[in-house]
Structure 1
Amino acid sequence: MKTTKKLKRMVAGVLASLMAMSGTANICAADTEENVHLSMAFWAEQSEIDRLDQLLEIWKADHPNVTLDYTYCSGPDYPTKLQVWFSSGKAPDVIRMSRDIFSPFASEDLFADLTPYLEASGSAGCWDESLLDIFDFDGELLSLPYMYSNYVIAYNKDIFDEANLEYPTADWTETEFVELAKTLTSGEGPEKTYGMWFGGWVCELVRALYGEPKMYDTENMVMQATNNEKFKAAFQLLGDLHKDGYCSNEVTKTTTTGGFVTGKYAMAIAMTGDIASYQKQIGDNFKWDIVELPISETYDTRWNTNMRLQGFGMSKTTEHPELAYDLIEYMTTNYEVQKAVDEDGVGIPALTEYLESEEFKTNYGGGLAYNKEAFVNMAKVGTSWEYAGIWADINDTLTSEFNAYITGATDIDTALDNLQKKGEAVIEAAKS
């Protein structure tokens, strides 16, 4: 599949080169004298908005003939905004994206294919190919990677030291992980120390822990919760850790024990955005670090992580595609822009040049040093998981059935059968 995508991009690159030679392709519109208006949309918190304002001012200074207007809102409101823009035919020229947010719109021919622009610009090697693949829909590249967030495991060094156990390393196995989770669980009631904390994120992991086939196939609109050895194994493994008391049950996210920062967990699932809170809340209370997810010996793969990959794409109706692409490329290939992503702690920058720099490796947000490379390494086994539309409904059913299993309300086969049937009903209703 990846080879096919690469081939399509190579072909598009040849076509783009021929266009450039014939004078019909002008990717950089920065030199034009024409006064133009460009619009941009993104979601962000206020701290990121302030930084984006500064970065966009730099781009505007290099394009004095361009009036750039941008609209921003909160993440939860963004999908609704997209729907309104596309329904009215007034979509912004440049649009911040994530796979799950714009997936429902991807098949409606609303976004421009960036492949010819990318190949003609010579920037195709700026990111890991796996990131480009996530934004590939039916052979069309609908966004360029900007930043991402994914999963690692955080561990409490003090708890490991007290048990005289070695810290986990990048090559640790699933068996070793399970043994540690069990060994490091001790005590009862409020004084209990758990071996692992998954919180509500466990139902994201279980969907595709060992890769394909996932719980569902979004491309072909098919449920795969039954007769799926990998999914059942993941469901049982993570379910039993909760069922047997090695993890606190926070699956439904209706209650919380406070998580890793309380010092009551030997290990915990952690996302990129958690690190800033660790640095602030843990302080000197205990020593900690992070490590890649473990490797399954049975399926010969590291646990897959959800990639919350964000990027910038272009509306197909833009009147200034070359200029819009110039802005997209600035946001995704400019070293200082990517450095700002890292300094603000909002995610892992996607640009390979920055990821390989000493600045990335030594920037800890003013806090303690930690293994940042774990996030970068996990991107190699990143996969896109859906959160919108009918898939959100099916995800809710997964949470319900997973909770029923770990609380003893049902057995695993019944839980998976219920999930399969309910998921099929949702998909069939969407097709009709």
Structure 2
Amino acid sequence: MKKKQVVVMTMAAVMACGAMTACGGSKSDAGNNAAAGSEASGETGSAEGKQVLSVTTWDNESTPQFQAVIDAYEEKNPDVEIKIIDTSADEYNNSLGISLSAAQPDPDVIWVKDMGSMLQMADKEQLLPIDEFIKKDNLDLSIYKGAAEQLQYNGVSYALPYRNDWYVLYYNKDLFDAAGVEYPSNDMTWQEYYDLAAKLTSGEGSSKVYGSHNHTWQALVTNWAVQDGEHTVVEKDYSFMKPWYEEALALQKNGYIQDYATLKTANIHYTSVFKNQQCAMMPMGTWFIATMMQSHAAGETSFNWGIATIPHPENTEAGYTVGALTPIAISAFTDQKDLAWDFVKFASSEEAATILAAQGVFTGIPSEEALKTIAAAENFPEGESNVEALEYTHYSFDRPLDPKIEEIRTVLNEVHELIMIESYSVDDGLAELQERVAEIKGW
């Protein structure tokens, strides 16, 4: 079925729609208007008499993490049409915030990009508590292995775990083979990783191949500082981050990774860097597995690639990683609570987990069966070591469930940039970070 893609509104349009809602407009009215518009353009839409459920997604065209479940739900429920409100990942939280501030009935279902934003939405009463639905359907939360309880906020459930991602190391086997260097192991320290980055760097100018790649996110430095579980990104003292920033700057200075300023100025995305074979290694989340599998299936890439367990600090054993959950929730303003819950329940079910596993997507339901499905999927890299790379012994959230986390992330991002472009020294940057976080937290 061809999906009707809905472009996220501008602020003016959102506020106008919000005004119509306040003046008595309803989703049924909006649906009738949408149907009329669809008929005029040759689309049928809700004119078919189907129930229309709106869901928010980001970068839906470039990843299978949403569409596979949407398609499966529509196939099981032919009387329902899913209206997709898609936004770029960078603009998602901002656009969603604008939409929810208008208190309009669309969207019904929200895929939550960052758990910190879930807390903000809960504080603003923009999310529907789902404990009554869970109780009524006697939903077994044990299948999520504690993740559902971790998503509770002030003792209330606002979401279910949809997917689970953690960091691994991607590498280009062909580049390693050409350099005559052994592939990264599943028990490699960060120092060994730095040494490999030096060995795999070659060439000059536009033909240069970098030993590794750090995307511009602050997580690509701060994650390794919290990997051992001793700290989080919300602390009173940030001196523990100093050696990690020093190493990131050293990689940049030595030319083993592209420099931060170039990446930001040219708006270079990590996907293109790895796909175009401009780097031999790249630390990135497990969500990128599905992207690479999809890329190979479409014929966009043909080189051999693999994954290894993310490197670990010297004083930490292999298997420690950092990650985050993607929750799925219901808008407090939906006028289709039961239908929205039915979709949320399906999207976070074992059935959906099997569907997503075939796409290389890890879900909130960890299981050996899902791991086997992913490993057996077409275009997943061959070799037992790639499957072993997906196993972990310790999992730290990249950011804690703190009500102030989004404010703190803003500061983290600002300080990160100033350190990486060397406008601040590491010491000065971390001192400012400490001062501003203390102000936010009231310490």
Same fold (TM over 0.5): yes
**Does the 8 A contact of 1:199 with 1:249 survive in 2?**
no
2: distance between equivalents of 1:128 and 1:175? 33
Give the deviation of 1:37 after TM superposition. Answer: 7.6
1: distance between equivalents of 2:371 and 2:180? 35
1:282 aligns with 2:301: yes
**Given the alignment, which residue of 296, 304, 313 partners 1:296?**
313
**Given the alignment, which residue of 358, 363, 386 partners 1:349?**
363
Structure 1 partner of 2:200: 184
Matched residue SS, 1:137: coil
Matched ranges for 1:151-300 at <5 A: 151-201=167-217, 203-211=218-226, 216-217=233-234, 224=236, 227-250=237-260, 252-255=263-266, 256=268, 259-271=273-285, 272-273=287-288, 274-276=291-293, 279=296, 280-284=299-303, 287-299=304-316
2: distance between equivalents of 1:368 and 1:165? 19
Cα gap change, 1:118 to 1:192, in 2 (>3 Å): same
1:418 aligns with 2:428: no
Aligned residues, how many?
Answer: 372
Give the deviation of 1:290 after TM superposition. Answer: 1.0
**Does the 8 A contact of 2:419 with 2:429 survive in 1?**
yes
Q: One-letter code of the match for 2:213?
A: W
2: distance between equivalents of 1:86 and 1:355? 41
Cα gap change, 1:196 to 1:93, in 2 (>3 Å): closer
Cα gap change, 1:214 to 1:277, in 2 (>3 Å): farther
Q: One-letter code of the match for 2:281?
A: M
Matched residue SS, 2:307: strand
**Does the 8 A contact of 1:338 with 1:354 survive in 2?**
no
Q: One-letter code of the match for 1:102?
A: M
Percent identical among aligned pairs is 18
1:43 aligns with 2:54: no
2: distance between equivalents of 1:135 and 1:376? 23
2: distance between equivalents of 1:344 and 1:317? 32
Q: Report the TM-score, using the length of structure 2 for normalisation.
A: 0.68
Structure 2 partner of 1:97: 112
Structure 1 partner of 2:155: 139
Cα gap change, 1:311 to 1:59, in 2 (>3 Å): farther
Structure 2 partner of 1:32: none
Q: One-letter code of the match for 1:151?
A: Y
Structure 2 partner of 1:402: 419
**Does the 8 A contact of 2:105 with 2:335 survive in 1?**
no
Give the deviation of 1:419 after TM superposition. Answer: 3.4
Q: Report the TM-score, using the length of structure 1 for normalisation.
A: 0.70
Q: One-letter code of the match for 1:197?
A: H
Cα gap change, 1:175 to 1:182, in 2 (>3 Å): same
Give the deviation of 1:104 after TM superposition. Answer: 1.7
2: distance between equivalents of 1:37 and 1:185? 55
**Does the 8 A contact of 1:210 with 1:299 survive in 2?**
no
Matched residue SS, 2:110: strand
Give the deviation of 1:38 after TM superposition. Answer: 8.4
1:309-343 C-alpha deviation (Å, 9 max, x unpaired): 323223457787666544322111142x3344344
Q: One-letter code of the match for 2:219?
A: E
Q: Which runs of 5+ in 2 are unaligned?
A: 1-49
Q: One-letter code of the match for 2:431?
A: D
**Does the 8 A contact of 1:210 with 1:304 survive in 2?**
no
Cα gap change, 1:164 to 1:356, in 2 (>3 Å): same
174-183 or 160-169: which moved more? 160-169
Matched residue SS, 1:329: helix
Matched ranges for 1:329-408 at <5 A: 329-335=345-351, 337-344=352-359, 347-353=361-367, 355-356=369-370, 358-365=372-379, 369=382, 373=387, 376-377=390-391, 380-385=394-399, 389-405=406-422
**Given the alignment, which residue of 82, 86, 89 partners 1:73?**
86
Structure 2 partner of 1:85: 100
Matched residue SS, 1:206: helix
**Given the alignment, which residue of 321, 328, 336 partners 1:312?**
328
Q: Which runs of 5+ in 1 are unaligned?
A: 1-35, 218-222
1:271-312 C-alpha deviation (Å, 9 max, x unpaired): 42342465344314xx321112111123557564342x3232
**Does the 8 A contact of 1:93 with 1:324 survive in 2?**
yes
Cα gap change, 1:376 to 1:266, in 2 (>3 Å): closer
Structure 2 partner of 1:3: none
The root-mean-square deviation of aligned C-alpha atoms, in Å, is 4.0
Give the deviation of 1:166 after TM superposition. Answer: 2.5
1:127 aligns with 2:137: no
